[in-house]
Amino acid sequence: SKSPSPRPNAPVRYFILKSSNLQNIDISQQKGIWSTMPGNEQKLNNAFWESSMVYLIFSVQGSGRFQGFARMASEIGCEKSQDWGSAGLGGVFKVDWIRKESVPFQFAHHLLNPWNDNKKVQ
């Protein structure tokens, strides 16, 4: 589906998405798609339709780094992708990569998440 119409007064939402490996990030950057666990789908779809923009910040589990960030460009559909080879993932959605760069978590330690007991963002 297409991106919702601009909502200048709606909030911008940010999500940190963890990947089990760097290969998934590479596939996403090449194909402009992502897939997440089914438990995350409703939250991301709600944010997509209720926000002016949804930014996704990617990190590989255990890497101690962010690998880049993208804009969520479509809602999550029912179609699944074999690109990741994981039967546990949900539907595919489009992402527009904005920046592809490896940034150590310590560069963001000054950022605290008020919705997670003011813990560091990582």
Question: Residue 89 sits in a domain of what CATH number?
Answer: 3.10.590.10
In a domain, 38, yes or no: yes
In a domain, 41, yes or no: yes
In a domain, 49, yes or no: yes
In a domain, 44, yes or no: yes
In a domain, 1, yes or no: no
Write out the two tokens for 82.
């074999």
**56 exposed, middle or buried (CB, 10 Å; 0-12, 13-18, 19+)?**
buried
47 C-beta neighbours (distance < 10 Å), count: 20
For 98-109, how does the pLDDT look when each residue is reduced to its tens digit (9 = 90+)? 988 877 667 666
In a domain, 47, yes or no: yes
76: containing domain = 12-120
DSSP state of 38: H
Q: Among residues 64, 63, 69, 67, which one has the least CA distance to residue 15?
A: 69
Q: Work out how many domains the chain is built from and give that number.
A: 1
In a domain, 7, yes or no: no
Q: Any idea which of 10-14, 45-49, 111-115 has the lowest mean pLDDT?
A: 111-115
In a domain, 89, yes or no: yes
Does residue 92 register a pLDDT over 50? yes
The enclosing H or E element of 73 equals none
Mean pLDDT of the chain: 83
pTM value > 0.85: no
